[in-house]
Structure 1
Amino acid sequence: MIDECLVAEFRIEGDDCPLAAATEGLDATIDARPPQLRSDGNVLLQFSAQPSEELSATLDADDRIRYLHVTHADGRSNYRCLSKHPCVVHELVDEGFLVESMRYENGGSTMRGAVVGYDVLRGVMEAAGRTVGVSLQRVYPLRTDDDEPVGRAYELTPRQEESVRVAVEMGYFDLPRPVTSEEVAAELGISKTAFLERLRRAQGSLFGSLFG
């Protein structure tokens, strides 16, 4: 039995994936679930974003996207579709990378997941080295109490999970509070309003899960 499980975060630049291409030049961020690869090479995608007619139109106009379906709930647009374009992430999956979340913005993407042991990490890193534009951003041990990602356990989006995590790391919830919401927002690279909105939505999901 292998005791060490690692969380790894990769950044992909220069990928012509339809979701990455759709965010090029748009003020849009797409949060995606791990893509599902079919035996015919096509990929099933499920993702969400802030409502944007321009983003929807861009995706709909992409010849690589088929059967695009959009629903709206809780201030988000939820998309499902089939993509005829292979995802770079599958090259890492083939080496043992367990994808948990993906985020597309500014024409690139960030993926977060787990690898079981350093030997698997080396194989994943070798695969990343053979793939243009894939770089390791950070890696750290998975805690023994992390049976599943926080976002999945409490239905948080990757951006909400990141905002809560950074806020905790910076002491935003401590008393007395050593940092302001503006400082946390600056660390995240977003506005104060966007940070507080993410935080309220995350708290709503967390408290809803705890108290029904």
Structure 2
Amino acid sequence: MPITTEFVISSPLLPLVSIPQTLEPNEIECVHGLCLERESRIYTVKFDPDDDVSEADLEALDEVVETTHLGQANGEVVFQLTVELHDRISEAFAPEQVDAAQIEPTTITSEGWHETKVFRTFEGFADFQQRCQEYDIGFELFSVSPESGADSDDSEYGLTDRQQEALTLALARGYYESPRQVSTEELAEELGISQPATSDLLRRAERQLLTTALGSDAHLNTLSR
């Protein structure tokens, strides 16, 4: 089942964070572009004309290999930048490793990248989060939800959309870590339901996953006799 996620990743090695760190704008809007090679990407970046960012300013950045001024669109100045990625970033986010699609422009600040992505499966999202951890890239999740229009019958584990949402949020927030990083009360607040309802939702979802993994209810009942 596809899931939509909103999050911030943070690292001084992320491409283009040097722009709000060293130039006038506090944040910029960026659209991912062509992947030339594993270590090189093209990005389309938009600036407010009042920011007074020039082509020379961008070319002076160490990571920028080539700059093209594309003109103005919707009152914004648009540049196309060819950027050389740091080795750690190119390894962490190699195209073959990330099973997701960008659905909104990325907002880049000196703190990091604010992104909204759709992951084809929960496993793809979990793998992305794990890779961030492995490569020392900060990850802060704001929201996660099943993709609108997705049919709960599409879940290979038989989970409802709400169960999938609760489990995804719990895993992302560290509920299943030892020690736990979040309480059911905190999860309940994010889900907008009571603490008992959250506990029941997780318990039913966990049972459904175990039932799918270990066999049918009838088979499990036979084993328990």
Q: Same fold (TM over 0.5)?
A: yes
Evaluate the alpha carbon distance shift between residue 6 and residue 79 of structure 1 in structure 2; reply closer, same or farther with a 3 A threshold.
same
**Of 73, 97, 100, the match for 2:100:** 97
* 1:79 to partner: Cα distance: 0.8
Letter paired with 1:74? N
**Of 135, 139, 154, the match for 1:135:** 139
Unaligned runs of 5+ in 1: 146-212
Name the counterpart of 1:53. Answer: 52
Q: Secondary structure at the match of 1:58?
A: helix
**Under a length normalisation based on structure 2, what TM-score does the superposition of the two structures give?**
0.54
Q: Secondary structure at the match of 2:32?
A: coil
**Of 129, 133, 150, the match for 1:125:** 129
| CA RMSD in angstroms, aligned pairs only | 2.6
Say if 1:23 and 1:55, in contact at 8 Å, map to a contact too: no
Name the counterpart of 1:75. Answer: 75
Q: Secondary structure at the match of 1:33?
A: strand
Letter paired with 2:118? A
Say if 1:28 and 1:49, in contact at 8 Å, map to a contact too: no
Say if 1:6 and 1:141, in contact at 8 Å, map to a contact too: yes
Aligned mates of 1:35, 1:10 — CA distance in 2: 20
Seq. identity, %: 11
Aligned mates of 2:139, 2:148 — CA distance in 1: 23
User: Which residues in structure 2 correspond to 1:147-186 (within 5 Å)?
Assistant: none
Name the counterpart of 1:34. Answer: 32
Say if 2:11 and 2:111, in contact at 8 Å, map to a contact too: yes
Evaluate the alpha carbon distance shift between residue 61 and residue 81 of structure 1 in structure 2; reply closer, same or farther with a 3 A threshold.
same
User: CA offsets per residue over residues 117-172 of structure 1, 9 Å max, x none?
Assistant: 22222212211221323314221111018xxxxxxxxxxxxxxxxxxxxxxxxxxx
**Under a length normalisation based on structure 1, what TM-score does the superposition of the two structures give?**
0.57
Greater C-alpha Rg:
2
Evaluate the alpha carbon distance shift between residue 40 and residue 116 of structure 1 in structure 2; reply closer, same or farther with a 3 A threshold.
closer
Unaligned runs of 5+ in 2: 151-225
Q: How many residues align?
A: 142
Name the counterpart of 2:64. Answer: 65
Stretches of 4+ aligned residues off by more than 3 angstroms: 25-28, 54-58, 86-90
Are 2:8 and 1:11 equivalent residues in the alignment?
A: yes
Say if 1:8 and 1:136, in contact at 8 Å, map to a contact too: no
